[in-house]
Structure 1
Amino acid sequence: MSRPQDPHRPFFPLGNPFRRILPKGLQMSPRLISILNSFEETLAERLRKLIPEDQGDVLSLTWMKLAMESLCETHTDMKTLITDLDLPVTGWDQNWIDVYLDDSMRLLDTCIALSSEISRLNQGHLLLQCALHNLESGTPECCMKARSALDNWRHHIYSKNPRVQSCRSILDSLVEALNLPKVKNSSKGKVLLHAIYGVKAVTIFVCSVFASAFSSSSKNLLDLAIPDTVLWARAFSDLQTRVSGEIRELFPSEKSTGLKELDSVDSIVKTLYPAIRDRLQQPPGVEEEALKICFTDLQGGAEKLSEGLDLLAKQVDTFFETVLSGREALLCNLRVTSSDMNAVTGGKIWEQQAVR
């Protein structure tokens, strides 16, 4: 794990994971190879589409929405792959189940943290609307109220969210779990863990970018070294290099608000202060051109920010539901398996798994 003051070297947690999940001598059928290759090629293409064309687009709400959409699609692909493998829960190793359930819970916690920050930032829209309403009136008293609302807005957006601050520890635990359990003579299990590794690595990286954006700090970025044995390794490396590099360049002193649209509104607010001051110094009835321009700019910027946050919030909610539905599907299968096993044996096999 790298820090801004240290060399940013990617790493394998506890060694190369594929030495454990790809035992020698275990062969895959052409059908399984096709399933895995299709999954990895699709993942690689999604990663390539996320590489930003222009500098500064990385932490835009538009890019973040696309990244979260891509993550949802990848997790959905994972469900499809499990179905295609036709690997029943009874064929899953207990360790795989434990890792999946633990990781899904961590992802749900991460989603809650990200959603809380999006909601907090959106609450600032009310302060901007209050400022715009008072500026439209134009009286000295209303101008003072507008300036007070803008002061409150800046204090609000620069304050820290404890939930976002906790994301780093959650992501660290996900990185530690990248070292997947060993496959025991199962070619389908081999494909499953291959896919799980890809989903986890991409999810960790995207979530670390979100945590960096919402905390205005590159300390939350995580650099991962991906084995070149997977088809999506090059695409992941290119994306990580581009995105992480731009974020670290953006946050050398950690004075940015993080989000591109948020920075834009903040810049407009800063220019409003002298415009309001000049307006207060003018006789009543005198129009101030600079104030009118800033008013119009703030209207547009505030609306764009609010709309972007709303769309991102919906996408994070979709990701939450995607992770939750996958978790519930596994738990449901465990309960069904438990009932079937108890009906046959009269025992309590799987019972602990079913209630996890």
Structure 2
Amino acid sequence: MSRPHDLPHPFFHFGNPFRMISPKGSNLSKRLLLLLNNFEETLAGRLKKLNPKDKDGVLSLSWMKLAMLSLCETHNDIKTLITELELPVCDWDEKWIDAYLDISVNLLDICNSFSSEISRLNQGHLLLQCVLHNLDSSSSKQFIKARSSLDAWRQHISSKNPRVENCSTILNKLVESLDLPKVKNSAKGKVLMRAMYGVKVETVFICSVFASAFSGSARKLFDLNVDDKYMWAQAFTGLQTSINSEIRNLYSSGRFTVLKELEAVDTSVKKLYPMIQDGVDPVEVEAFQKSVSDLARRAEGLSQGLDLLTKEVDGFFHVVLTGRDALLCNLRECGTVSDTKLGCKVVERVQS
């Protein structure tokens, strides 16, 4: 699997604002230490909550929903921290600003990719509804239509989404920013950059898990090494090991998906399909009706889970977008104009 130190080309050629920075020897005031500790303790608790108690929680849509919600909360926390640090944007290095805008639009691209895949999976629900509608009748013609819809569903679900496949390139860029030469900064800057490292690590991890789940491949996963000096390091390592290991185990066993709800629907489809090949034998009517009911229940569970996940992905998109817009607004108030063209470029990429 890819690791940060294996990537040859640094993302921030000018120095990395997300470099791991230890507070030791940095003469941080009690107030700054308190802000940093509160941020890291909160992040640690948040990561612990994401660690499933058993393997059945990997990867359910409910877990993915919680993971995306956790990411939104962490990104909101960093906004709050910036405010509490009273670190004016006017003092930020222009190259850091450009990098932040570039990273933010990469995250928006990832959100759009995830949304497109969720929408694609939800389209399959329409095919399942056709199946269930046709199975209301005992007519052989309706059974033929039902088989055709099941074939279409299986083909639709097994197809690949090129937008999800491209997520790896974007994630590689984000990983590259995790381990670069140290940047000298003020005490407030060091607190911010240390906190931003935590944000980046959680973001890369969760997005890589999503990319792996949606692409049907464990190759989208990253194994990130985090120094024990961070309060959240142990919680993150435990979470990463638990989730990544189980995903790899599932794929190595031949599963076409690690999404629990999608796998459940596929199991029902495989069980029902032979029953409608030549019509239902009177002896098998009860088993047939149970299979139809199971498919209906599981299909509805998949659809509802995808709808809830869509809301959280859209929420994360909004968090990233408003953060970028707030930065541009602050730059204009500071009289900075060099960001204008880049801002337009960002908008063009988001809308394309």
Which residue of structure 2 aligns with residue 321 of structure 1? 318
For the pair 1:235 / 2:232, whether they are aligned, the reply is no
Match of 2:289 among 289, 292, 299: 292
Count how many residue pairs are aligned between Structure 1 and Structure 2.
335
> What is the rounded CA distance, in whole Å, between the counterparts of 1:228 and 1:159 in structure 2?
41
1:251-285 C-alpha deviation (Å, 9 max, x unpaired): 115542231100000000001112112535x48xx
| Cα RMSD (Å) | 2.2
Which residue of structure 1 aligns with residue 114 of structure 2? 114
Matched AA of 1:327 = R
Which residue of structure 2 aligns with residue 55 of structure 1? 55
What is the TM-score when the length of structure 1 is the normalising length? 0.89
Which residue of structure 2 aligns with residue 96 of structure 1? 96
Secondary structure at the aligned position of 2:184 is classed as coil
8 A contact 2:19–2:179 mirrored in 1: no
| 1:107-186 → structure 2 map (5 Å cutoff) | 107-179=107-179, 182-186=182-186
Matched AA of 1:351 = V
8 A contact 1:95–1:181 mirrored in 2: no
Residue 22 (structure 1) shift? 5.0
What is the TM-score when the length of structure 2 is the normalising length? 0.90
Match of 1:307 among 301, 304, 307: 304
> What is the rounded CA distance, in whole Å, between the counterparts of 2:220 and 2:254 in structure 1?
12
8 A contact 1:125–1:306 mirrored in 2: yes
Match of 2:331 among 323, 327, 334: 334
> What is the rounded CA distance, in whole Å, between the counterparts of 1:164 and 1:329 in structure 2?
28
Indicate the structure whose relative CO is greater, using CA pairs within 8 Å and at least 6 residues apart: 2
Residue 182 (structure 1) shift? 4.2
> What is the rounded CA distance, in whole Å, between the counterparts of 1:66 and 1:171 in structure 2?
21
Which residue of structure 2 aligns with residue 6 of structure 1? none
Which residue of structure 1 aligns with residue 348 of structure 2? none
> What is the rounded CA distance, in whole Å, between the counterparts of 1:68 and 1:23 in structure 2?
29
For the pair 1:219 / 2:215, whether they are aligned, the reply is no
Secondary structure at the aligned position of 1:32 is classed as helix
Which residue of structure 2 aligns with residue 343 of structure 1? none
Greater radius of gyration (CA):
1
Over 3 Å counting, the alpha-carbon distance change for 1:294 and 1:23 in structure 2 is: closer
> What is the rounded CA distance, in whole Å, between the counterparts of 1:106 and 1:225 in structure 2?
22
For the pair 1:352 / 2:349, whether they are aligned, the reply is no
1:33-75 C-alpha deviation (Å, 9 max, x unpaired): 0000000000000000000111131211010000000000000
Which residue of structure 1 aligns with residue 197 of structure 2? 197
> What is the rounded CA distance, in whole Å, between the counterparts of 2:297 and 2:22 in structure 1?
54
> What is the rounded CA distance, in whole Å, between the counterparts of 1:84 and 1:167 in structure 2?
33
> What is the rounded CA distance, in whole Å, between the counterparts of 2:293 and 2:75 in structure 1?
42
Which residue of structure 1 aligns with residue 78 of structure 2? 78
> What is the rounded CA distance, in whole Å, between the counterparts of 2:310 and 2:88 in structure 1?
34
Matched AA of 1:143 = F
Over 3 Å counting, the alpha-carbon distance change for 1:262 and 1:207 in structure 2 is: same
> What is the rounded CA distance, in whole Å, between the counterparts of 1:95 and 1:189 in structure 2?
15
Moved more, 214-223 or 93-102: 93-102
8 A contact 1:44–1:235 mirrored in 2: yes
1:105-129 C-alpha deviation (Å, 9 max, x unpaired): 1100000000000000000010000
8 A contact 1:216–1:254 mirrored in 2: no
1:326-352 C-alpha deviation (Å, 9 max, x unpaired): 0100011011111xxxxxxxxxxx321
> What is the rounded CA distance, in whole Å, between the counterparts of 1:12 and 1:165 in structure 2?
21
Residue 94 (structure 1) shift? 2.4
8 A contact 1:92–1:189 mirrored in 2: no
8 A contact 1:57–1:63 mirrored in 2: yes
1:117-148 C-alpha deviation (Å, 9 max, x unpaired): 00000000100000000001121100110011
Which residue of structure 1 aligns with residue 350 of structure 2? none
Matched AA of 1:326 = G
Matched AA of 1:238 = G
Which residue of structure 1 aligns with residue 274 of structure 2? 274
Secondary structure at the aligned position of 1:251 is classed as helix
Secondary structure at the aligned position of 1:136 is classed as coil
Residue 96 (structure 1) shift? 2.4
> What is the rounded CA distance, in whole Å, between the counterparts of 2:84 and 2:60 in structure 1?
36
Residue 288 (structure 1) shift? 1.6
Matched AA of 1:79 = K
Which residue of structure 1 aligns with residue 349 of structure 2? none
Matched AA of 1:166 = N
